Amino acid sequence: SAPDAASSFVGRDHARATLRECLARAHGGRCAVAIVRRPADIGKTRLTEVFVDEAQTSGWHALIGRCRDGEGVPAYWPWIQILRRLLEHPELREEAESLTGCTQMIAGLIPELERTATGADPERRSSAGAESTEQSQFLFYDAVTRVLVRCARRRHIVFVLEDLQWAGAGALRLLEHLLFEAASVGLLLIATVRDQAWERGHPLIRMLSILKQQNACEEIALRGFS
């Protein structure tokens, strides 16, 4: 028979071992974080794919959001992808649908929620329409975080955010909110980021600092093969 993805994957033994350690910590009931740093085109996507396949074989569920560079990319794009995947999951769909009508931002970012969920409370919609922009953003962060935390308590979940250097400021703030609320939840967050010089004040610098402050954070630096 054809070899599976893991058996045909060459190298990166230390990186894979570190990711397995992070997974074990998350299995123990605490949020674990892994930052995979690499130069461009060094193979971080392949590494995360192989590890995610391995985790799923062990009963974990993967939610992957890929940040994109370029014009026209919707705000919160990696989180939109993750919420859409929740809507497709038979066990976790109900949790995602609970976001319907929470804030002004939900319908614009994830119209699938408005089309598929039923029975949204009219008073809830009315109060959402009265929010200021700042309130709407915070309530959006909080509502999404609560859904993700509840999902992680129901199922073992690995969150993967790829190419974090392209995430917008709002997407990074939502990640910060999740880390704050999920410290005692057994989930694993893997963030991949390209190594390069960042200008002073870039929001990613602050986000990386927050990630590294987590009690169970491992930084994995990938380099080219000899």
Helix axes 13-27, 44-57, angle to 10 degrees: 40
The whole-angstrom separation of Cα 71 and Cα 194 is 19
- pLDDT for the residue numbered 38: 77
Q: What angle do CA 11, 15, 21 make, to 5 degrees?
A: 135
When pLDDT is cut at 50, 70 and 90, the band that residue 88 belongs to is very high
The whole-angstrom separation of Cα 179 and Cα 29 is 14
Over residues 98-134, the pLDDT tens digits come to 888 777 777 778 887 776 544 445 454 444 455 567 8
More confident residue, 216 or 217: 217
**Out of 7-16, 114-123, 151-160, which region has the weakest mean confidence (pLDDT)?**
114-123
More confident residue, 88 or 200: 88
**Rg of the chain over all Cα atoms, to the nearest angstrom:** 18
More confident residue, 16 or 198: 16
When pLDDT is cut at 50, 70 and 90, the band that residue 1 belongs to is very low
Helix axes 77-87, 133-154, angle to 10 degrees: 50
- pLDDT for the residue numbered 24: 95
Region 164-179 average pLDDT: 93
Q: What is the pTM of this model?
A: 0.84
Collapsing DSSP states into helix, strand and coil, what is residue 183? Answer: coil
More confident residue, 185 or 123: 185
More confident residue, 185 or 11: 185
Region 55-70 average pLDDT: 94
Over residues 103-112, the pLDDT tens digits come to 777 777 888 7
When pLDDT is cut at 50, 70 and 90, the band that residue 225 belongs to is low
Beta bridge mates, 187: 157
- pLDDT for the residue numbered 122: 46
- Average pLDDT over the chain reads 83
The whole-angstrom separation of Cα 28 and Cα 140 is 29
Residue 104 is given by DSSP the state: H
